[in-house]
Structure 1
């Protein structure tokens, strides 16, 4: 996750701040390849933020600042950093507190996430509603692009969903290697605690327009703290975010950070628009 940015000049100082918050050497732990460590919320959140920030800073040096911003899940905080809402040390502190609250909320609960590829959203919503009537908790948690979704809930509900969705012949059903059921109402207590924490912070208004995961529309800066707290227990409306960008005239969407998943989502939304993944030092 850090290989593409580890040689950049900004990396060492940024990595030091992350290691201080984490209480261990993040790069060394990731290099160990321990699958249990890679499932943990806190180190993966901090690694995502570190890789994204360092790559973004190099992108701005090479290409100039963007006209608007968006971030996916914890990446919404990286986007806020890019919009000068908070400094890097505060960003790391916020992401650390966020992850710890999420983990504590779901501690000792058997929860997880299921990726569903190749089915429409409507039957997934219907299944979740049916499960609720049967006392099983399962909810849509990310709406990425047509045919690309995730569901969050209890492991019992996920196992039942695997059995009941298979006859619909999806392209793929995949239990995600994550530690909890993110972006669903099981995290409502964490969202309330996070809201109280955010009230203690000084956050500047974003200096460029941003799309918001919670609504899929432009972020309402006046409701910034409330939106960021709600973000913990509401689905990520990424498809709607990208469509908002395109409807407002965006002709190029650049993914900056680890992986290229968001770029691939874009291909399913509008092939006339250029979606590309930026890698430092790669033409």
Structure 2
């Protein structure tokens, strides 16, 4: 039975995340303390006490989730838990690379703060939108995108799981897609409360800025198999930086990444970090493939009792 560690992306943050691990495990405290030394703001104060408005700013959220997830991971490693393969949703891919020892934490926590800043700044607020399409197939989503592409930028941002796809692009085009979605088979279509059109070609300039920062970061050969969002396949030593750049403005193939793991014999999944959205996505994907899986979510101390 193979095990996968999976890590959440932006949107899973909440005030108080990671505090119980910080208070009870020296190895988790060390991670938060290191993040505080590397960043130009008090990440410990914001993660534990908020306010939520500030914690939800993209350039704060990304290092905050990365740090919380990494602190919890270090506790699990201390307890002897290991995985055969790892992946993360968007931002979470950096945690997967940390687990695989492909990148170092001090470089990465600064890098993802810049990533968040670039993603936020590239498109002026109000010009881009994202929306979730519920109960719609991939083929119907592609048809909707194709029918509207001449009216403005509209692309698939996230293939989360069967029946849940997120679209991204220019505000007017995404809003029109939401109004039309039921005609294409959607049960529901909702605009998401995000401040930028993440994972769209509009963010290509953000990817290009990130590329310059990645040039200064040392990347090693992964010690554990890592699956990329961009390809839904294993990363290779020589393409990690390129994939991280593309990941900013390309679709996230999460459903396909889970399918890859299931096809390769993974039946045990541990979601590490705030929130439980990945667990729900994995459950739906496994159910569609009629594969029985064991899924655990570790976001609070109490979750450890169920796992260890």
CA distance in 2, matches of 1:167, 1:87: 47
Counterpart residue number, 2:281: 265
For structure 2, list consecutive stretches of 5 or more residues without a partner in the other structure. Answer: 1-13
Counterpart residue number, 1:151: 167
Counterpart residue number, 1:274: 294
CA distance in 1, matches of 2:101, 2:73: 13
Q: Is the 8 A contact 1:41 1:178 kept in 2?
A: no
Please give the residue correspondences for 1:1-283 in structure 2 after superposition, counting only pairs within 5 Å: 1=14, 2=17, 3=19, 5-7=21-23, 8-30=25-47, 31-35=49-53, 37-108=54-125, 110-134=127-151, 136-168=152-184, 170-271=186-287, 272-279=292-299, 280=301, 281-283=304-306
For structure 1, list consecutive stretches of 5 or more residues without a partner in the other structure. Answer: none
CA distance in 1, matches of 2:268, 2:29: 31
Q: Is the 8 A contact 2:125 2:196 kept in 1?
A: no
CA distance in 2, matches of 1:11, 1:63: 15
Q: Is the 8 A contact 2:154 2:173 kept in 1?
A: yes
CA distance in 2, matches of 1:129, 1:20: 47
CA distance in 2, matches of 1:151, 1:51: 28
Q: Is the 8 A contact 2:229 2:257 kept in 1?
A: yes
Q: Give the 3 Å change call, closer, same or farther, for CA 4–156 of structure 1 in structure 2.
A: farther
Q: TM-score, normalised to structure 1's length?
A: 0.91
Q: Deviation at 1:167? A: 4.5
Q: Deviation at 1:109? A: 5.8
Larger RCO of the pair (alpha carbons < 8 Å, separation 6+): 2
Give the paired residue count: 281
Q: What SS class does the counterpart of residue 64 from structure 1 fall into? A: coil
CA distance in 2, matches of 1:182, 1:127: 19
Q: Deviation at 1:188? A: 1.1
Q: Is the 8 A contact 1:21 1:96 kept in 2?
A: no
Judge which range, 100-109 or 48-57, deviates more: 100-109
Q: Give the 3 Å change call, closer, same or farther, for CA 38–174 of structure 1 in structure 2.
A: farther
Q: Deviation at 1:21? A: 4.7
Q: Deviation at 1:13? A: 3.1
CA distance in 1, matches of 2:256, 2:179: 29
CA distance in 2, matches of 1:24, 1:222: 33
